[in-house]
Structure 1
């Protein structure tokens, strides 16, 4: 398998990216030039952990016990994301209507964003901002 065919598979790209992140994380953690470099190494290690965990879940799909459960969770997450998309559309529509009724002629973008997104989010949990 040559290099062009190797990188056509997404999992091979993810493995290579995970290895590069791991090496970069080690370099940043072992040679910290300042506090930002140490923090950058920690962030790179966290991204690397996410990539390797996704790869481990992909490997578990071969298992007789875990495989069907992982496939079932994948299908369930598709339905959950569809519900969350519809819920987000409804929340933004509620926020726009609430903003238009309660606060006319608002020109500050931060306050408009807060009134349209953040306040309906809080109202969903029963908190009135």
Structure 2
């Protein structure tokens, strides 16, 4: 009887130590890091190799996609739990503390879940053609990029690297105004030059794809010094007033 009680106490002590070990911050951090890496690997794998239109030959989705859906859903439930378990008792206080205190992190967080479920809906609805189905893959690919960016949060534990990440985040916020200046210059030149000079010898329709293809993309690559294509198009009609005016605008 005495030995049985002794073994029971030692067994309970062992379980208590084991529980404390797994609840320690560094072990939790290790588990979260490992599970997040596995999640990124599986997400990347099924987008690269097993993202196909459901057909009669392939009626179901791959097990990696099911696993990724379950992981994202459980992470979403965890975010909801953290939101509800905040110290603020009122819902307004919870919303203010969650969405306003750290706007950049919250925006990335919400966007990652939003794009994932939008891509998931498109994945099972746009199955009538390859062109329509590609929309789901594009949305999920951008979502995967955001999930990779979110992995930077694990570097915050580094004593030397963590503060530098905070500095970079604040610097990006300050650089927004410079980005705005560059964006205005790009849009202004793209719209004005295309309104004066017909680069493709045809009028493009008013839709998003044509606007990006004829205005946004060419002017974006001008920032990298890629002006040869722009000059070649302008030199097709060197003597025209529209070509001369666009040359002046480009200079």
TM-score normalised by structure 2 residue count:
0.30
CA contact (8 A) 1:92 1:117 kept: yes
SS in structure 2 at match of 1:88: helix
Whole-angstrom CA distance in 2 between matches of 1:66 and 1:85: 29
How far apart, CA to CA, are the structure 2 residues paired with 1:119 and 1:74?
A: 29
Pair 1:122–1:51, CA change in 2 (3 A): closer
What's 2:85 paired with?
6
Structure 2 gap ranges (5+) = 1-80, 87-93, 100-104, 117-132, 231-251
Distance apart, 1:85 and its partner CA: 2.4
Quote the Cα distance in structure 1 between the aligned partners of 2:145 and 2:190: 37
Deviation of the 1:84 alpha carbon: 2.1
Aligned to 1:109, the other structure's residue is in SS state coil
- How many angstroms does 1:51 deviate by? 3.6
CA distance in 2, matches of 1:102, 1:85: 25
**1:118, 1:65 → 2: CA distance?**
39
| Correspondence 1:1-129 to 2 at 5 A | 3=81, 5-6=84-85, 9=98, 43=140, 47=143, 50-51=146-147, 54=150, 56-103=151-198, 106=203, 108-109=205-206, 113=211, 114-124=213-223, 125-129=226-230
Question: Aligned-pair RMSD on alpha carbons?
Answer: 4.3
Taking a change above 3 Å as real, the CA distance of residues 84 and 105 of structure 1, as seen in their structure-2 partners, is same
Superposed displacement of residue 59, structure 1: 4.4
Q: Distance in 2 between matches of 1:91 and 1:99?
A: 12
Q: Distance in 2 between matches of 1:122 and 1:53?
A: 24
Per the normalisation by structure 1, the TM-score is 0.51
C-alpha contact (below 8 Å) 1:99/1:116 kept by paired residues: yes
Higher relative contact order (CA 8 A, sep 6+): 1
Unaligned runs of 5+ in 1: 22-35
Runs of 4+ aligned residues of structure 1 deviating over 4 Å after TM superposition are 7-11, 46-50
Q: What whole-Å deviation, never above 9, does each CA across 1:110-129 have from its counterpart, x for those lacking one?
A: 69623322222233322315
Number of residue pairs matched? 103
